[in-house]
Amino acid sequence: MTIKPLFNVSVNYPTEENELEYDIRASKAVAKVLMEILSPGGVAELIETYNTKILNVKGENYMNQEQMDRIHTGKGFIAALDQSGGSTPTALLQYGILKDSYSNDEEMFNLVHEMRTRIITSPAFNSEHILGAILFENTMDRKIGEQFTADFLWEKKNVVPFLKIDKGLAGLENGVQLMKPIPNLKDLLKRALEKNIFGTKMRSVIKEANSEGIKKIVEQQFDIGKQIAEAGLVPIIEPEVDIHIGDKEKSEELLKSEILNQLSVLDKDVKVMLKLSIPTKDNFYKDLFDNPHVVRVVALSGGYTQSEANEKLAHNQGLIASFSRALSQGLIAQQTDKEFNLMLSDSILAIYEASIK
């Protein structure tokens, strides 16, 4: 008697070259079997186990390749929508919302989420010009419509979601401000993965050309960056050079040297991004673009007006924007939707043009 197989599944054995494709094929085959034999509750439990255990073990092997390709080679810029608790009142004030409009943090964050939702849902905010968007943790945990913000960004806008993870700056020491400790980092990265975040961003600041301080600031950034990469996310390394300091160019020279040192000792599969102040010398960071560990180098506006930042950025071929204040410049709550969308569209187009020159 011949027994007919219940399932018709064919899977080739993996090689080093096709391991990821094999994993995907095998996963689909296993999923097909499990959907036939498990109850809906059993499937849900299995998915939860995968999210909390397997994803953290495999890390970057399961990273969204479409998102990686878009960030690595796409035309456009990254929108920074990551004002945190300390900078939120200033962001709201620039948006035309006075401090007496809210009485506690919850009301404040509701208002700033309304502002970010208005930006993200605007027709002007689209994947033709915008590659990714950096979110504050509170924004990641909130929804736009029926979807969490990161899912809305990717599924509705085709914009890659990032998460700001730092908790602010420590005091000035050796001419720099390191990041404050990030409590529960592992749990935060796990939540980011569960919310379909692609990468992270963390900021520290250089206030003078102090070699010891700059070495420490880069070491801290990369030490945490390696933990982020191990969790399966792409870290944006952001050691900002204050644009107002007198020895900015010397600081940039020291900074680039330390970044190259750290890149040279990374494990071969680790990928990072760099977010840097627009350099004093045009194209100064160009030699970082082709480093095999570097997915993309982006620029912060750093206090320049939008027009100043765009002009300086346009002189740095291959460097793309990741602007916050310069992006939201001119947007106010009291504008009609038509006025708001037109202002945002003008800003996005101007930043885009500066990013692709």
Residue 275 annotated among the catalytic residues of the structure: yes
What per-residue confidence (pLDDT) applies to 36? 75
CA distance 322 to 272: 15
Q: What is the mean pLDDT of residues 222-243?
A: 98
155 or 51: whose pLDDT is higher?
155
Q: What is the mean pLDDT of residues 29-51?
A: 68
**3-state secondary structure string, the chain?**
CCCCCCCCCCCCCCCCCCHHHHHHHHHHHHHHHHHHHCCHHHHHHHHHHHHHHHHHHHHHHHCCHHHHHHHHHCCCEEEEECCCCCCHHHHHHHCCCCHHHCCCHHHHHHHHHHHHHHHHHCCCCCCCCEEEEEECHHHHCCEECCEEHHHHHHHHHCCEEEEECCCCECCCECCEECECCCCCHHHHHHHHHHCCCCEEEEEEEECCCCHHHHHHHHHHHHHHHHHHHHCCCEEEEEEEECCCCCCHHHHHHHHHHHHHHHHHCCCCCCCEEEEEECCCCCCCCHHHCCCCCEEEEEEECCCCCHHHHHHHHHCCCCCEECCCHHHHCCCCCCCCHHHHHHHHHHHHHHHHHHHHC
- Tell me the pLDDT tens digit for each residue of 300-332: 999 999 999 999 999 999 999 999 999 999 999
Residue 63: pLDDT above 60? no
Amino acid in position 176: V
* Nearest alpha carbon to residue 252 among 292, 221, 211, 306: 211
Catalytic residue, chosen from 201, 208, 216, 238, is 238
pTM of the model: 0.82
- Tell me the pLDDT tens digit for each residue of 112-121: 999 999 999 9
- Tell me the pLDDT tens digit for each residue of 119-168: 999 999 999 999 999 999 999 999 999 999 999 999 999 999 999 999 99
Q: What is the mean pLDDT of residues 251-262?
A: 98
Q: Average per-residue pLDDT in the chain?
A: 90
What are 279's two structure tokens?
Answer: 């350099």
What are 127's two structure tokens?
Answer: 């994947």
Catalytic residue, chosen from 164, 271, 275, 312, is 275
Torsion angle in degrees (nearest 10) through CA of 299, 303, 307, 309: -20
- Tell me the pLDDT tens digit for each residue of 174-204: 999 999 999 999 999 999 999 999 999 999 9
- Tell me the pLDDT tens digit for each residue of 65-109: 999 999 999 999 999 999 765 678 988 999 999 999 999 999 999
